[in-house]
Chain A
Amino acid sequence: MNRLTTFLLAFALPFLAGAQEHFVFSPQSNAQAQFAGYYAALEKGFYAEEGLDVEILHPFATSYALDNIREGNCQAITLPLTLAMRTIATDIPLVNILQTSMNSATVIISRWGDDPLTLHGAKVTAFRAGFGQSARSFAEMLGLDYEWITSASEVNLFIAGAVDATLGRSFDEYYRILQTGIDIPEKAIYRFEKGEFNIQQEGVYVTREYYETHKEQAEAFARASRRGWEWVAENREAALDIVMRYTKELHVATNRTLQQLMLEEVLRLQLDPDSGQRSFQIRPDMVEKANQILLQAGVLTKDPVKMEDIRP
């Protein structure tokens, strides 16, 4: 986009806003670099260029983004693939319109330095908003009788030693724990990315009903979001500035260092493990793995979720 176009858009957008489609997007947790691509798309006018008046609605710490879409408070949410598949199979028909993560960020971190996969009967915290679905299923599959402690403050419980391990993400909780000065040896971390069940996580979902009635808007949102992520990958410092504005406005307990590390890791996880490219596509082999783990854990009781059920 050249400067003239940007200039005209800056003036024209306020007048055009009335004519744009209001579109509410609810990421699955609080403001952070995990959602930098959406903030950038909004800030840089990519959504407006697609004719969308996007509002980003962060959920509360103890509420689900899924609830927002279920209750009609938003048109799109982000969800990890396994949770999305469970939701599609058991709850609401959702449609993936953009897949941002190509790898699993999920980690299990042991508080006392032991291998997490040897902690039978341990108290393990899991974030309530749902990225732990694959881990829970994986633990079920391995027969690890974890006592799951659902929490919105899993790192604090971990620091206080109130739990034996915590589920986390390599771009978030992992760094937040490191930031407390707790020494975490590598053997105390189980990284799903390195294991058998490296399953894609974050993707953007709309309800099937919305997709069928507002296909253009849904795909416009996906296009602009993808553009936002590509811009972030090329303009990391500027993207970080945008992220920090959001975190400050919402009083998120974070800092630029944490967000910088998070952004780098999120962008790394967006690279396809085989091609090394940012493809933004769901991989059928990962869907198959997700089905396998969900079926074995008993989360899916009937048929596996088909690819066309996720991505029309």
Chain B
Amino acid sequence: MRRILDKIRRSLSARLSIWVVLFSAIILLGTLGYSAHVSRNYVRMEAIKRASQVLDNSVLRLANILEDVELAANNLEWLVYRNLETPERMADYTRSIVEGTPSLSGCSISFEPDYYPGQRYYSIYSGRVEDDSITTIQEGNDNYQYWYLGWYQLPKLLRQPCWTEPYSDWEQDDAADLQTQMLVSYCKPLTAGDGSYIGTISLDISLKWLSETLASVQPYPHSYVVLVSRGGTYLVHPDPDKLFYETVFTPTLTGQEPALEALGRSMVGLEEGIRTLEIDGQKSYVFYTPLKSTGWSMGIVCPERDIFGGFKRLRRLVIGLGLLGLLLMFLVCFRVIRKTLRPLSNLAVQAGNIADGHFDTALPETPREDEIGTLTRSFSHMQSSLVSYIDELQRTTAKRERIEGELQVARNIQQGLIPRTFPTRADIDLYGEMIPAKEVGGDLYDFFLQNGRLYFCIGDVSGKGVPASLLMAMTRTVFRVAVQKAPAVTDIARELNEALSADNEQLMFVTMFLGVIDLKTGEMNYCNCGHNPPAVLHADGKASFVEGEPNVPLGVEPAYVFRGGVVHDVRGIPFLIYTDGLNEAENADHEPFGNDRLLEVMGSAPYQDAAEMIVRLNEAVKAHVAGAEASDDLTMMCIRIRKP
């Protein structure tokens, strides 16, 4: 799944296709949903119309049957009244009525006990048997006292014709083939002129026959007709376990069946209507209408799947076709978009190659005038510009590398001018270090021994870089020459000043502290030409600056008269000379290292030797600047003359 999503994420064609299909799907679903709603209503209306027609036809059919029965009953009544004095003819009447009325399963004329003197039971019954022949019997006896039965009593009590509730006439043990008959009867009272009750005429319809007759009516494959009596009993139902044995209310006795109960009440209340409810686990529509003359109600139960079966099949087909169409649309869109965007893909690949450094990668030629063509041409232009720029960059880089190489050479040369070998004599403890801020620096230090004297200097050329380094080299050379010409430090300074002032069109200058120490006496003569004062570490471990006679820097003022200073005996006293790259070294917040810290570091530990002092100061500066770029060269030299 993740791979598919990744592919989609990386494919513009896929994403565009999905959006198109999604949008189409929404439109399709909306259209289908609306048409389904409209179609469903239409199908429902058609179903109602169809079921109502079938129901009306069934009711009409049943009404015809019942009318035949009632007509037969009227005829029989007329015959009975005319022939009350000849009871033996009653058998002929019942038989002929059954013969002439196909819907009847039987017919009886029953009289009150002892109506005919000497005959307690007089009930003549004619009924159909299995081979459709008609048998006639006298059915009253001690075990079958018919006047206690509902079909006899009902017209007697109501004194009007009526349809009975369904009943089983199983008591007729002398007519075994009739025993299982479930019947409903139309009964008429027979009364004498004085209003006394004579007997009951009963015309029976078999529920089984009625069910079979009406069951043939089926508006839908699984629909069926039900007929319920005044008491809700099923007079017609396809389920033999329900026919006669159950009423529409039976399931409501032990369970909550509000929909069924409402339907039952509506039906026995002789209302007309349509209801939807679950019957035997499936949602069904029940269309029902009353037969008011009987108190019965007929209904047609249509499972929803029958009514909407075709509609649902069509809906499934449309949805299937829709989905297939969307799939095809996706494939076509994907293909078309991918073809359209293929130059972009190629361009993306070529751009990748270019990005990998293959600047000579040829971009595809395109005749297209659309955005993709414009983009391709713009990209081609960008490629040529990029190639030119890269060439220029390469040339510049080569030039720079050459200059850097030359600078490195210059640096080596400059470093070579600085003495790296320090005296190993027991009476001289000297160490120095110069760290240029750039490839080459403008600081210098120098020292050498001559005639029992130690000559030394430290200087800082104005400016930085190559000009400063050139002036530094010249200054160092002049210092060595001047020492040979004039051993006094003020004379050396004057010589240097004269040399640096001559033709100084760039107005460059050098600050310098220079000195000479007589190693025998420890006397030190010095001259500070505009430079930082040296720092001295006293015997008590504290350091301080030694302020001497101030002078201008070298190269500033020709013919300047330099004043020097003298320390009669420096033996045993370590002192530090340095450039401003030490005390002015700045950290990232532009805070200088400072003079106080310089003195503090010097006195922070017992003095060991000059090299250790330089290392300690160097580390302190590094800790202070904390990686910030050095803005100036850093040069230090520490000297201590030991007593013999």
Contact = CB atoms under 8 A, between A and B. Distances in A.
B253 A179 contact: yes
A179 B148 contact: no
A261 B254 contact: yes
Given A153-B150, A162-B153, A63 B143 contact: yes
Interface string A154-181: 0111011011000000000001001111
Contact of B153 (A157, A179, A251): A157
A292 interface: no
A181 B249 CA distance: 6
B253 A175 contact: yes
Contact of B149 (A67, A152, A162, A181): A152
A260 B254 contact: yes
B168 A251 contact: yes
A217 interface: no
Interface of A: 60-63, 67, 123, 128, 149-153, 155-157, 159-160, 162-163, 175, 178-182, 250-255, 257-258, 260-261
Interface of B: 142-146, 148-151, 153-154, 157-158, 162, 164-168, 170-171, 173, 179-180, 182, 230-233, 241-242, 244-251, 253-254, 261, 264-265, 268
B158 A179 contact: no
Nearest to B155: A162
Given A175-B253, A257-B254, A63 B145 contact: yes
Contact of A181 (B157, B179, B232): B232
Given A60-B144, A180-B232, A181-B231, A156 B164 contact: yes
Nearest to B165: A156
A123 to B, nearest CB: 7
Nearest to B152: A153
A178 B143 contact: no
A156 B241 CA distance: 20
Interface of A is mostly: loop
Given A179-B247, A257-B250, A257-B254, A159 B264 contact: no
B148 to A, nearest CB: 5
A253 B264 contact: no
B162 A62 contact: no
B170 A179 contact: no
Contacts of A123: 157
B245 A157 contact: no
A113 to B, nearest CB: 16
Given A156-B165, A180-B268, 6 more contacts: A152-B150, A157-B154, A162-B153, A179-B232, A180-B231, A180-B232
A62 B182 CA distance: 18
B144 to A, nearest CB: 6
Closest 8 CB pairs of A and B: A153-B150, A180-B231, A162-B157, A156-B150, A62-B145, A159-B231, A156-B165, A152-B148
Given A151-B153, A179-B249, A250 B232 contact: no
A194 B154 CA distance: 32
A15 to B, nearest CB: 32
Contacts of A153: 148-151, 153-154, 165, 167
